[in-house]
């Protein structure tokens, strides 16, 4: 028995090495492809978008007299100087709609989205004289595509156009002393992974701010550097989120991280790395059944069973980027179980193949592996399965004579001779 256990342990070690190699190869395929595929997705669909509020700069030309001495004579020159002031928006009313649309490339899914952005800003010339105003709206991403671009100013003469060589839209107008204007901007565009509205670098002051965001997905996630909404309301297929502030001074921004789809590449790599644990449970259960039922399972049987286990992970790793991940999992599981059951049916009969080995493989290979589909619950599911297995094995083997199983002889200790 001891020799058989050493042989089974050697087989287990060799297959475990093969699994770690497969996990590493799958991870390498995923990471090497991601560096090139993500840039291609960004070129085709768009990069992460971060919208900034428009910058408002007011300027005027003032006449100044400058005195100087030339050859001992006092000279007075009249020069014009440009005075500028950056204005703060009086109010911001923003509407954002995010529509999630996944794209698959190789072993990875990318969280792409469409965004419909519209905003109404109010600005005022706070000076006591008329001033020229320059309004610049930065684009949310470089090399992005914009449809239905709107950049309108009501109640004032307006000249606006994209700034040559710069990622922004610039308009010019003139406002009288204390005069206000309403700026309306909007566009439809596409992005990747994350959308955010940034108030600016560092700590920024925002007045009378409103932003309403509608999503077509339920798994909303706010990054660590973002402000949570002040209200949330469920819709038919997502959320309506609102941020409202009368006077906000903050160094954080509003952001939405797109929910990630289950990634075939990392999932296949994780399941392969965990496979030795599944095979260990399977071997222990079959050995126990063999001892209890007096079934002689040879190490070569375990060699072929380990190979059928490995076929599951190998097939799943190379099917995951060709078909749906759930379809790939189902195909790999059916193929692996057919290999095991059809083999053991010939060796030990249908009852052992289906009821013992088939059930054990279903639990420790298929169900344990499927637990990785549920993020955050994998460890708990495997722990519960391991404890349940331990309980069953302890109950079944409680009356087993292990000395007889391992061929050990009990040496009688002579009673002490009375003095």
Q: Is residue 41 part of a domain?
A: no
Residues 149 and 106 in one domain: yes
Residues 272 and 152 in one domain: no
- Spatial separation of the C-alpha atoms in residues 285 and 302, rounded to whole Å: 12
DSSP string, 57-103: EEEEEEEEEEEEEETTEEEEEEEEEEEEEEEPPSEEEEEEEEEEEEE
Q: Is residue 216 part of a domain?
A: yes
Residues 222 and 298 in one domain: no
> Helices H, strands E: what count in the chain?
9, 15
pLDDT at position 206, please?
85
The pLDDT tens digits of the residues spanning 247-260 come to 887 777 899 999 98
Backbone angles phi, psi at 155, to 5 degrees: 80, 15
Note the helical H segments in 104-213.
none
Residues 115 and 200 in one domain: yes
Q: Total structural domains in the chain? A: 2
By the 8 A CB rule, do 311 and 340 touch?
no
Q: Is residue 414 part of a domain?
A: no
CATH number at residue 197: 2.60.40
Longest C-alpha distance within the chain, in Å? 136
The token pair at 27 is 């991870």
By the 8 A CB rule, do 242 and 231 touch?
yes
Q: Is residue 410 part of a domain?
A: no
Q: Is residue 181 part of a domain?
A: yes
Edge-to-edge, what's the strand order for the sheet holding 194-197? 49-51, 194-197, 254-257
The token pair at 41 is 């997705």
Burial status of residue 137 (CB atoms within 10 A of its CB: 0-12, 13-18, 19 or more) = buried
Residues 118 and 204 in one domain: yes
> CA-based Rg of the chain, rounded to a whole angstrom?
35
User: Which one-letter DSSP state was computed for residue 372?
Assistant: G
CA angle, corner 333, sides to 330 and 339, nearest 5?
Answer: 140
CA angle, corner 220, sides to 217 and 223, nearest 5?
Answer: 145
Q: Which of 257, 275, 307 is the last residue of a domain?
A: 257
Q: Is residue 413 part of a domain?
A: no
Residues 31 and 149 in one domain: no
pLDDT at position 184, please?
92
By the 8 A CB rule, do 229 and 244 touch?
no
Residues 187 and 298 in one domain: no
Task: Tell me the residue range of the domain where 131 lies.
Answer: 48-257
Total-model pTM:
0.72
Q: Give the count of alpha carbons within 13 A of 156, CB side only.
A: 28
Cα separations in angstroms, 280 against 88, 352, 360: 66, 19, 11
pLDDT at position 37, please?
66
Residues 114 and 137 in one domain: yes
By the 8 A CB rule, do 54 and 135 touch?
yes
Q: Is residue 42 part of a domain?
A: no
Q: Which of 222, 257, 292 is the last residue of a domain?
A: 257
Residues 26 and 156 in one domain: no
Partners of 75 in the β-ladder = 68
- Spatial separation of the C-alpha atoms in residues 312 and 302, rounded to whole Å: 16
Residues 113 and 236 in one domain: yes
Residues 253 and 268 in one domain: no
Q: Is residue 14 part of a domain?
A: yes
pLDDT at position 415, please?
53
Residues 64 and 204 in one domain: yes
Q: Which of 257, 278, 298 is the last residue of a domain?
A: 257
Reading the chain (419 residues) residue by residue, the pLDDT tens digits are 788 888 999 999 999 999 999 999 888 877 766 556 666 776 777 789 999 999 999 988 677 677 777 766 777 677 677 788 888 899 999 999 999 988 877 778 888 999 999 999 999 998 888 899 999 998 898 877 888 888 888 867 777 777 776 788 888 888 989 899 999 999 999 998 899 998 877 667 788 999 999 999 998 888 888 888 999 999 988 999 999 988 887 777 899 999 988 888 888 999 999 999 999 999 999 999 888 888 888 999 999 999 999 999 999 998 988 888 899 999 999 999 999 999 999 999 999 999 999 999 999 999 999 998 887 788 888 889 889 989 988 998 888 888 887 775 554 455 555 65
């Amino acid at each position: 028995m001891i020799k058989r256990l050493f042989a089974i342990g050697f087989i287990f070690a060799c297959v475990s090495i093969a699994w770690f190699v497969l996990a590493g190869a799958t991870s390498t395929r995923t990471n090497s492809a991601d560096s090139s595929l993500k840039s291609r997705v960004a070129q085709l669909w768009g990069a992460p978008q971060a919208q900034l509020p428009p910058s408002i700069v007011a300027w005027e030309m003032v006449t100044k007299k400058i005195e100087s001495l030339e050859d001992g004579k006092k000279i007075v020159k009249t020069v014009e100087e440009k005075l500028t002031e950056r204005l703060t928006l009086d109010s911001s009313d923003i509407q954002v709609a995010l529509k999630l649309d996944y794209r698959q490339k190789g072993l990875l899914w990318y969280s792409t989205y469409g965004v419909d952005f519209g905003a109404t800003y109010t600005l005022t010339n706070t000076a006591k004289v008329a001033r020229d105003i320059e309004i610049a709206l930065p684009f949310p991403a470089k090399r992005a595509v914009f449809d239905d671009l709107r950049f309108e100013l009501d109640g004032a003469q307006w000249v606006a156009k994209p700034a040559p060589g710069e990622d922004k839209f610039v308009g010019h107008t003139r406002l009288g002393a204390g005069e206000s204007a309403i700026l309306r901007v909007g566009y439809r565009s596409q992005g990747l992974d994350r959308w955010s509205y940034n108030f600016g670098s560092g700590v920024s002051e925002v007045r009378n701010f409103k932003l309403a965001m509608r999503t077509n997905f339920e798994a909303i996630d706010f990054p660590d550097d973002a402000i949570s909404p002040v209200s949330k309301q469920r819709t038919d297929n997502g959320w309506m989120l609102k941020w409202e502030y009368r006077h906000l001074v903050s160094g954080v921004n509003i952001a939405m991280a797109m929910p990630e789809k289950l990634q075939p590449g990392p999932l296949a790599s994780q399941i392969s790395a965990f496979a030795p644990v599944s095979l260990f449970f399977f071997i222990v259960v079959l050995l126990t059944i063999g001892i209890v039922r007096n079934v002689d399972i040879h190490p070569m049987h375990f060699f072929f069973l380990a190979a059928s286990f490995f076929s599951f992970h190998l097939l799943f790793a190379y099917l995951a980027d060709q078909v749906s991940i759930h379809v790939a999992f189902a195909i790999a599981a059916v193929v692996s179980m057919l290999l095991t059951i059809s083999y053991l049916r010939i060796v030990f009969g249908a009852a052992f193949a289906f009821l013992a080995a088939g059930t054990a493989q279903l639990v420790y290979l298929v169900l344990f592996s499927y637990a990785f589909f549920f993020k955050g619950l994998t460890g708990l599911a495997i722990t519960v399965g391991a404890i349940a297995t331990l309980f069953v094995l302890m109950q079944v083997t409680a009356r087993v004579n292990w000395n007889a199983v391992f061929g050990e002889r009990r040496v009688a200790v002579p009673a002490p001779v009375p003095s």
